[in-house]
Copies of this chain bind each other. A is one copy, B any other.
Amino acid sequence: MSSAAATRQPIDPKLIIPFVNSVRQVFSTMVGVPVTIDRPSIKSSPGSMYDVSSIIGFSGEVVGAVVVSYQRETALKLVESFAGSRFDLLSPDFADAIGELANMIAGSAKKDLGVNASITIPNVVVGPSHSIARLKDVPCLVVPCKTPVGDFAVEISIKPMQKQA
């Protein structure tokens, strides 16, 4: 499939709504921070740059990934609110906490997706101004999220598994 075709390919809203709901719920109950969800948009290429990203992969009846990306200070403040301690950005404690947030978002959304899928344990990327590349045949929607301590983004690039011919 060409890149242009992938860009036009819509994402089924049934795949998006569970994530929007789980982001709101996880941040309000587990982090104690209210989240305002802005209008999602198709991810451009190259995408926005972030300092911290947690990646959860999906396999099974839906495949792809959900990535929760932050600027440095926002990630540090959200983890402090979630874990009750301020951790160094490069510490395993910080990675575990920021990964666990993504795990809860993906896990809660998976239940509502109504599909048979597995999620991976989180991969946490730390580095100033990185981007998660868009693959050509996977549509990706960016959901902007605003909180009182800074904004972050949830990038949803999942699609139903295509049956092998």
Contact = CB atoms under 8 A, between A and B. Distances in A.
Interface stretch (A14-22, A57-65, A142-150): A57-65
Contacts of A93: 136
A90 B131 contact: yes
Interface residues of A, number: 43
A135 B122 contact: yes
Contacts of A134: 92, 95
B118 A59 contact: yes
A26 interface: no
Given A95-B135, A125-B125, A126-B133, A120 B58 contact: yes
A41 to B, nearest CB: 17
Given A125-B132, A133-B126, A135-B99, A57 B92 contact: no
Q: Which of A65, A90, A121, A124 has the most CB of B within 10 A?
A: A121
Contact of A120 (B63, B125, B131): B63
26 contacts: A45-B91, A46-B90, A49-B127, A57-B59, A57-B120, A57-B121, A59-B59, A59-B119, A59-B120, A60-B118, A64-B121, A65-B121, A92-B133, A92-B136, A95-B135, A95-B136, A96-B136, A118-B118, A121-B135, A121-B138, A123-B123, A124-B135, A125-B125, A126-B130, A127-B130, A128-B130
Given A58-B120, A121-B138, A125-B132, 16 more contacts: A53-B125, A59-B59, A59-B119, A64-B120, A64-B121, A65-B120, A95-B135, A95-B136, A96-B136, A124-B133, A124-B135, A126-B130, A127-B128, A127-B130, A128-B128, A130-B130
